[in-house]
Amino acid sequence: MTGVADILSFLGARPDPVGVQDLKASIQGPGTIDAAGPTQVAFCAASASRALERARATHAGIALVDAALVDALEGERLPATVVVRSARSRLDYARVVAHFFATPPPAPGIHPSAVVAPGAKIAPSAAIGPLCTVADAVEIGPGCVLHAGVHLSSRVRLGRGVIVHSGTVIGADGFGYERDRDGALMRIPHVGGVVIEDDVEIGANAAIDRGAIEDTWIGRGACIDNLVHIAHNVRIGAGAAVIAHAMVAGSVRLGERAWIAPTACLRDGIEVGDDATVGLAAVVTRDVPAGETVLGNPARELSEHRRLQAALRGLADEPS
């Protein structure tokens, strides 16, 4: 168990007067702002639906609350034991849970059921889970974790602290074919590899293809969600996020901190700039400049997309 005072000290925070000032309570774990009890920590972001109403009703032992919501309370007292005014409550919540309550990583070592080729290089502090396969010419850096059933083909290199969740395949051949004179599909051999830099996390059942000639590359701190397909020769910038069911086709370039929303589809060869956002289920057929947000099918810049949607609604409302 963790004391309220421990969490406040970790955050460098003081309790806000809108809450009860009981610093002796113990916190056993996290909870949601709606259901948390007096032994749990929860957060309430201003962007959440009914945020103010939910903050008023919480019974969390510690409630991390966005500053805008605390200000909106105008001195009203909350039932939570301790309220912490936060510039970014969700981030503070993540920090607290990671520090005090997260499940510890697996112990280093190679599970007896894993199959590791003699030519693989695995750091002693890495953890290789049950039923993993690691091919020759693979390098796995310090602190990496492969959960159950991960498969690494040859010429895959993982940096430090890479986490790969169950069922993911890294380094399989990409989809590259050319028709011969008879029209039959001839496979183009893929001789590149995959480089995954430090602190990348890859979700379950993702597929990351080897490069056709040069390596597929995923930059430091990027996050790849479950069921994502990264095709051959893709280069993903540091801190980018590619979310569930997204498909990134061959030779795409994603900039640093790019955000690719669920089920988005990016055609081959395009470039998405730094800090750009590709919206939910967007079909991207051309480059996206840095910092731009695109939506729709085909994907268009946000303001253009909204104008077109408004025009379509206007047409629908016209009398027949």
**What is the residue type of 108?**
P
The answer to whether the beta carbons of residues 62 and 80 sit under 8 Å apart is: yes
Q: Which helix (H) or strand (E) holds 69?
A: helix 67-73
Is 147 known to be catalytic? no
Per this entry, what is the length of the chain?
320
Sign of CA dihedral 303, 304, 305, 308: positive
CA–CA distance, 13 with 18 (Å, rounded to integer): 14
* Distances from the Cα of 11 to the Cα of 5, 60, 255, 284, angstroms: 10, 17, 32, 41
HSE-CB for 300 with a 13 A CA cutoff: 10
The answer to whether the beta carbons of residues 250 and 231 sit under 8 Å apart is: yes
Q: Which of 59, 151, 229, 232 is catalytic?
A: 232
Structure tokens given for 203 = 């979700």
- Please, which residues have CB within 8 angstroms of residue 212's CB and are 6 or more apart in sequence? 174, 176, 188, 190, 191, 192, 232, 233, 250
CA–CA distance, 46 with 70 (Å, rounded to integer): 9
Find how far residue 158's CA is from the centre of its chain: 18
CA–CA distance, 179 with 201 (Å, rounded to integer): 37
Residues acting as catalytic residues? 232
